[in-house]
Structure 1
């Protein structure tokens, strides 16, 4: 029988060479921009999505930002193939870096993003990203996020595709680093908003390719 306990179902383990392709539901990206980031006018700002996959998050970012750059280390047929951790981005190349990074590389993505972004960084990650002595030493001790925004609704993500009817036992949160903010991190919640932020056509967007090809 399938083990359906919360502890087991909350796990999401990927192989070390996996693209870790779990597309972000569009409403979850809109939640960041509507409820978490304090920016008076996104249209005056630029943004980079460096793990864009088939573009589900990048397409939502285009609804808000004046300029959106996007790429991925794997070929999905949407953006340029670039490994964010090795591509020679300039310091302060864009205003914001916003992404749902591969979980096994999320620490490296944060550290790289803090150099690439002028104004701020936001990553969507499993809530358990806060755990780990290694991440505490590498990030949280000296560069803690300005906001930790926990979703009160579950954010269902399915490997390789968007699925409006999917469910999950995994909790997700937005971790945000706003460079102009000083002081202790702020704990906040993403309020119930899925119903308000979903739009017609969100789940009819083209899906990911059946096989992602690693950049060489």
Structure 2
């Protein structure tokens, strides 16, 4: 189990297993072969970014709390003239209480696309309906057939979860297939993905971050 330093604010920190990052990296490569760079704006100790590195030439990292050597920046409230990065894609596991704000800001800043790891229940809600189908119309949702556990303050590769999470994906105009489906569609993340995309380096990276 890889814990973060308890002196840091872990209230909104739910580290993402690196195989979850490799999963969305593969999906992005299929949808947008021209994608080269990615910004992870709620990076925490860098577990998600560690997985994203497999599919992008550069992965920029920031967070509003200092967990490592990433850039400090409040993604939602930070001033536009101080935005530290521009990237083809913005991909993150946003704070639960700011997920809608993260979608709106990321869609405005990303050059080519956005992916957010949120609860599958993000599909629900009358207010959110306008966000998903009008303001920032999403392109696809990719639920996990096997659960991707998220635990407050740590990453535990042996953990299980009853909560269902999914990658929600947005493509900017002109990106992706020339003919788009009339409605958002589902991208399957099949059983066995965890084993296929997990690496020995994930545990080594987690141990290094916990010791930092």
Q: TM-score range by the shorter chain?
A: 0.7 to 0.9
Q: How does 1:1-216 map to 2 (within 5 A)?
A: 19-35=11-27, 37-40=30-33, 42=35, 45-89=36-80, 93-179=86-172, 180-181=175-176, 182=180, 183-192=182-191, 193-206=193-206
TM-score w.r.t. the length of structure 1 is 0.80
TM-superposed deviation, 1:175: 0.2
TM-superposed deviation, 1:89: 4.4
TM-superposed deviation, 1:97: 0.2
Say which is worse superposed, 136-145 or 201-210, in terms of deviation: 201-210
Extract unaligned runs of 5+ from structure 2: 1-8
- Measure the CA separation in 1 of the matches of 2:100 and 2:114: 12
RMSD across aligned C-alpha pairs, in angstroms?
A: 2.4
Give 3-state SS (helix, strand or coil) of 1:71's partner. strand
TM-score w.r.t. the length of structure 2 is 0.81
Give 3-state SS (helix, strand or coil) of 2:33's partner. coil
Q: Give the conservation status (yes or no) of the 8 Å contact 2:26–2:55.
A: no
Q: Give the conservation status (yes or no) of the 8 Å contact 1:121–1:177.
A: yes
TM-superposed deviation, 1:110: 0.3
TM-superposed deviation, 1:209: 6.6
Q: Give the conservation status (yes or no) of the 8 Å contact 1:77–1:209.
A: no
- Measure the CA separation in 2 of the matches of 1:149 and 1:39: 15
- Measure the CA separation in 2 of the matches of 1:206 and 1:106: 25
Moved over 4 A (4+): 89-92, 207-210
TM-superposed deviation, 1:85: 0.8
- Measure the CA separation in 1 of the matches of 2:62 and 2:113: 18
Higher fraction of helix: 2
TM-superposed deviation, 1:144: 2.1
